[in-house]
Amino acid sequence: MFQRIARSIACILVALWASAAGAQQYPNKVITIVVPFAAGGPSDTIARILGQTMSASLKTQIIIENVGGAGGTIGAARVAQSTPDGYTLFVHHIGHSTAPALYRKLTYDPIKDFEPIGLINDGAMTFVSRKDFPAKDFKELLAYVKANKDKVNMANAGIGSASHLCGILFMSEIQTDLTTVPYKGTGPAMNDLLGGTVDFMCDQTTNTTSHIKSGKIKVYGVTMPKRIASMPEVPTVSEAGLPNFTVSVWHALYAPKGTPKPIVDQLSKALQDALKDANLKQRYSDLGAEPVAQERATPEALRAHLKAEIDRWGPIIKKAGVYAD
């Protein structure tokens, strides 16, 4: 109760400040982007490249703060409670839309507690394993995990993370339950995959591409309907053995609810400019991530997309019977 009143007062003060000072003075200090996963993983990479690019056009420093845990919900809760002054922003992925169905005690509302700024990118996931995992290709992976379900383990970034969602879809398709190992992000999960202490995972290409290319991990398939340009030799999961299996991960930029509209609009414009930047496009594309078209990098498009995704995932998750307290 006290928190809500304090937050309302903060919103009023920020609104007064914005109209008195004029939003054109924004930004005049460092902006923090909260990433709800550990450093080194896909969301961190997407946010860092975006932050570096937006920082040039906004003419201020942008730093990343990693607040990992519980599939992204700890970081989201933190941002929902932050001062809505444009100096705390949030990059999250598809998990922002699945959390309401997965978490029975969510302390925030992904729609009511955030100001959407715009979508950032769409990206593929890949099934990857430690280098010495016995399976050679996706068909062998399916056969091996089914035959060894009690000893194979699958890493993820916690309930509601993209790697977890991909994993539950995979297990439901092959009707096999595997042991899962949750991390605060797939950055640290990748370290364990490289070290050989976990067997396999499904993760975004932003985290897996360089290790696949250097031969440090094995890749079995990409989760998009079509093969992707950054690794054309890798089959899609649907062509390799699970027809209709597709998962695509989107990231988006938000501010806490109550952030003044002129600031949200300024950030949305900076986001759109960043997504047209040649260096950002190249870096994203090298990692298999695709910046969205300008019309999707807007508050309206993100608001509609988030709602549609919440409506889409709710029944799927309910049917799968997965939840967290």
**Which residues contact ligand ASP (rule: CB under 6 A)?**
37, 41-44, 93, 95, 156-157, 161-163, 185-187, 203-204
In the bound complex, what is the minimum distance in angstroms from residue 163's beta carbon to ligand ASP? 3
Residue number with CB closer to ligand ASP (48 or 257): 48
Residue number with CB closer to ligand ASP (93 or 257): 93
In the bound complex, what is the minimum distance in angstroms from residue 10's beta carbon to ligand ASP? 29
- End-to-end Cα spacing for the chain: 22
Reference 33, options 270, 237, 204; nearest CA is: 270
In the bound complex, what is the minimum distance in angstroms from residue 269's beta carbon to ligand ASP? 26
Backbone angles phi, psi at 289, to 5 degrees: -110, 140
- Give one DSSP letter per residue of 162-220, joined into a string: HHHHHHHHHHHHHT---EEEE-SSHHHHHHHHHHTSS-EEEEEHHHHHHHHHTTSEEEE
In the bound complex, what is the minimum distance in angstroms from residue 288's beta carbon to ligand ASP? 13
Q: Which residue in this structure is represented by tokens 């903060």? A: 10
Residue number with CB closer to ligand ASP (51 or 260): 51
Residue number with CB closer to ligand ASP (7 or 92): 92
SS3 state of residue 90: strand
CB 221 within 8 A of CB 138: yes
Beta-carbon count within 10 A of 129 CB: 23
Q: What is the CA radius of gyration of the chain?
A: 20
Distance of alpha carbon 200 from alpha carbon 131, whole angstroms: 10
Distance of alpha carbon 68 from alpha carbon 257, whole angstroms: 21
In the bound complex, what is the minimum distance in angstroms from residue 83's beta carbon to ligand ASP? 25
Distance of alpha carbon 247 from alpha carbon 15, whole angstroms: 40
Residue number with CB closer to ligand ASP (95 or 260): 95
Q: Is the peptide bond prior to 260 cis by the omega test (within 30 degrees of 0)?
A: no
Residue number with CB closer to ligand ASP (114 or 250): 250
In the bound complex, what is the minimum distance in angstroms from residue 4's beta carbon to ligand ASP? 30
In the bound complex, what is the minimum distance in angstroms from residue 316's beta carbon to ligand ASP? 17
In the bound complex, what is the minimum distance in angstroms from residue 39's beta carbon to ligand ASP? 9
Looking only at the bridges linking them, the beta strands covering 153-156 and 179-182 are: parallel
Reference 81, options 10, 184, 29; nearest CA is: 10
Residue number with CB closer to ligand ASP (35 or 302): 35
Which residue's C-beta sits nearest to ligand ASP? 41
In the bound complex, what is the minimum distance in angstroms from residue 284's beta carbon to ligand ASP? 14
Looking only at the bridges linking them, the beta strands covering 200-204 and 114-130 are: antiparallel
CB 94 within 8 A of CB 310: no
Q: Provide the residue type at 191 as one letter.
A: N
Residue number with CB closer to ligand ASP (95 or 221): 95
SS3 state of residue 324: strand
Residue number with CB closer to ligand ASP (48 or 296): 48
